[in-house]
């Protein structure tokens, strides 16, 4: 079997707090400013659009509300 030099890269980042505290348009703008390619920007824009959240603690559950950052 011939030897090949295939590489696989992965980057795992927990961005949950960033989405809680940073206005989404500012985050997208900063990603563009640091040179992220258009596919990455589109992925983040899609991820940040039309999202809903709720809080669950013990036996209490809030209603679903839109994320509005």
In sequence order, the 6+-apart residues with CB closer than 8 A to the CB of 20 are 69
Q: Which residues contact 51 (CB under 8 A, 6 or more apart)?
A: 66, 67
Domain of residue 57, residue span: 16-66
Whether 21 is in a domain gets the answer: yes
User: Is residue 2 assigned to a domain?
Assistant: no
Contacts of 24 (CB under 8 A, 6+ apart): 48, 69
Question: Per the domain annotation, does 55 fall within a domain?
Answer: yes
Closest CA to 30 of 17, 51, 45: 45
Q: Look at residue 34 in the predicted model and tell me its pLDDT.
A: 92
Assess if residue 5 is contained within a domain: no
Please give the Cα distance from 10 to 54 (Å, whole number).
Answer: 30
pLDDT the model gives residue 32: 94
- Is 30 a member of any domain? yes
Of the listed ranges 27-31, 40-44, 49-53, the one predicted with least confidence: 49-53
Domain count, the chain: 1
Note whether residue 9 is domain-resident. Answer: no
């Amino acid at each position: 079997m011939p030897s090949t030099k295939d590489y696989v890269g992965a980057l795992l980042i927990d961005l949950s707090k960033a989405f809680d505290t940073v206005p989404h348009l500012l985050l997208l703008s900063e990603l563009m400013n640091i040179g992220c390619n258009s596919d990455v920007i589109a992925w983040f824009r899609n991820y940040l659009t039309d999202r809903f959240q709720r809080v669950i603690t013990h036996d209490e559950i809030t209603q679903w509300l839109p994320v509005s950052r």
